Chain A
Amino acid sequence: MDRILVGLKRAVDYNVRVRVKSDGSGVETDGVKMSINPFDEIALEEALRIKERGAASEVVVISIGPTDAQQQLRTGLAMGADRAILVESATAISPLDRARVFLELVEREQPGLVILGKQAIDDDNNQVGQMLAALWDRPQATFASKLTLDGETATVVREVDAGLETIEVDLPAVVTTDLRLNEPRYVKLPDIMKAKKKPLELIPLAELGIEPGPTLTETFFEPPAARKKGSMVKDVAELVSALKSKGLV
């Protein structure tokens, strides 16, 4: 295929312990380390491996977000992507609007495959890939742990609650990644230098002709309810009677 599109979302780094602001207005993100959403890194790694096997000629990374998301796109370019597109939006946009943006870029770029992370670790929505597939009227293979391309089709092993499900989809299609799909490569310093020369196109959201639609309003943020510390027992016999008194055994 000619081209694979990969989504890279700028998200709070997975090592950051997230804190809710005391006034409930949001989550503290000032001065917090930002990275590529880990599932998106896996998506890019998969696309690069496909290209390295000779099954695709170009990998394009796309981000939708603030100007600063260029950092994550540069990291993607350093990993090996050929070029990058940032659809700039200073304010957060909804999953459906993100899917509409991807659809617009799909129509411009005509990819054989779109690989996205199954979810972003900030809003945990798990929606954009499925929505893009619906709007595009193409197959979706979500939660992929193995992806095999074979001409006009792809065979995808999906991590589902009941085990591992294998489906076959016609291309083009949308694949979303699960953790076990691969282990993303580390970026090497010379590649970071090289990445600075790769093309990064900036497109203001308005230029795509997409008006943000009605969306959910986030009214209040709070930390999760804490569990209370329980009691200690001194031996197995006490444990058994504690379980019995709670009617658990």
Chain B
Amino acid sequence: MAKVLVIAEHDGKNLNPSTAKCVSCAAAINGAEISVAVFATEPAALAAAAANLKSVTKVVAVADAANEYTLAATLAPQVVAIGRDYDYLFGPSTTFGKDLMPRIAALLGVNQISDIMSVESERSFKRPIYAGNAIVSVTAPEGIPVVATVRTASWAAVDDGNDAAIEQVVNSAALPDHTRFIELQSGKSDRPDLQTASRVVSGGRALGSSESFDIIYALADKLGAGVGASRAAVDAGYVPNDMQVGQTGKIIAPDLYIAVGISGAIQHLTGIKDAGTIVAINKDEEAPIFEVADIGLVADLFTAVPELTKAL
């Protein structure tokens, strides 16, 4: 039996979809018995959501006033306090998990496996290196826990429809007060979050100006999609940097990705490799984006995009 502890990511109200993806990765381990740990001020609703995830055996809910904000320095000792009996400790490779999991690994005195793409056996995993230009198979040493982040773009979320036991646990670890949350400024957009959206429309340098991005927003809103951009469009100042998709921006895996006026530089393609269906609209039929697109349309984006928005 392999005891796995998945650290839930949430914003205090809802579980982040990354949690169900981590459970999916955990379930790929032979004989996995999966627990999900929820750290919050009032974890009841979050714990119930976690208990509803398929493949989960148990939810460990830790209520503590210190858990209002997700600070790695505060969370790591709490995870270690409940995590000693587990063979595996998993978190998502989102900024939440990337911040937290290495701190846990170091407290446990083990190395971490970053960005698990696939589970090859109980102790063997694949992960990307060099920005995804190479994939390496790694084997964890025997006899010590496997601490890992799960590359969310590689895993489909487990379904809802379960009724796992919920165990309330009182935190026993001493917590530091050297790290304090001040504020979170979130992008003010009402559109779906780029990183988790199931559909994304991105614009490139061919848009030519920030005003032209309006046709991208219009198409995205019709589809209920998130909006991204190529690095070239960001560098040209058309859109802010948090919209950048690619090796130096966000790595995403929507079901549908529509690349408009994006030539398809390697650095951009790295960020969309795991998209379900890639659609490319570009005037230049030689553009490298067509080499990876599932559906390509050679057309002037200024006529094709509004036409597409209208037709949907």
Residues of A within 8 A of B (CB): 12, 17-18, 20, 27, 94-96, 99, 121-135, 137-143, 155, 158-170, 173, 179-180, 213-224, 227, 229-240, 242-243, 246, 248-249
Looking at chain A's contact residues, the main secondary structure is: mixed
Instruction: Kindly state whether residue B178 has any CB partner on chain A within 8 Å.
Output: yes
**What chain B residues lie within 8 Å of A213 (beta carbons)?**
109, 111
Complex CA distance for A137 and B135, rounded to whole angstroms: 33
21 chain-A/chain-B pairs, Cβ below 8 angstroms: A27-B129, A27-B130, A95-B102, A96-B106, A139-B73, A140-B73, A140-B103, A160-B95, A161-B195, A162-B186, A165-B181, A166-B185, A218-B136, A219-B138, A220-B136, A222-B137, A224-B128, A231-B294, A232-B295, A233-B296, A238-B297
Residues of B within 8 A of A (CB): 11, 71-73, 76, 94-96, 98-107, 109-115, 124, 128-141, 144, 176, 178-187, 193, 195, 199, 223, 241-242, 248, 255-256, 266, 273, 276-279, 281, 290-299, 304, 307-308, 311-312
B272 → chain A closest CB, angstroms? 9
Do the beta carbons of B273 and A227 come within 8 Å of each other?
yes
B139 → chain A closest CB, angstroms? 5
**What chain A residues lie within 8 Å of B297 (beta carbons)?**
232-236, 238-239
Looking at chain B's contact residues, the main secondary structure is: mixed
Chain B residue nearest in CB terms to A99: B106
- When A143-B95, A218-B138 are in contact, do A163 and B242 touch as well, CB less than 8 Å? yes
Do the beta carbons of A218 and B137 come within 8 Å of each other?
yes
Complex CA distance for A213 and B191, rounded to whole angstroms: 46
Q: Among B111, B137, B248, B291, point to the contact of A179 (Cβ < 8 A).
A: B248
**What chain A residues lie within 8 Å of B115 (beta carbons)?**
124
Do the beta carbons of B178 and A139 come within 8 Å of each other?
yes
Do the beta carbons of A217 and B102 come within 8 Å of each other?
no
Chain A residue nearest in CB terms to B114: A125
Do the beta carbons of B111 and A167 come within 8 Å of each other?
no
A166 → chain B closest CB, angstroms? 4
Complex CA distance for A240 and B312, rounded to whole angstroms: 7
Q: Lowest 8 CB-CB distances: which A-B pairs, in order?
A: A230-B294, A163-B186, A130-B102, A134-B106, A131-B106, A127-B102, A214-B141, A166-B182
**What chain A residues lie within 8 Å of B291 (beta carbons)?**
229
Interface centre among A139, A165, A246 (most CB of B within 10 A): A165
Complex CA distance for A242 and B103, rounded to whole angstroms: 47
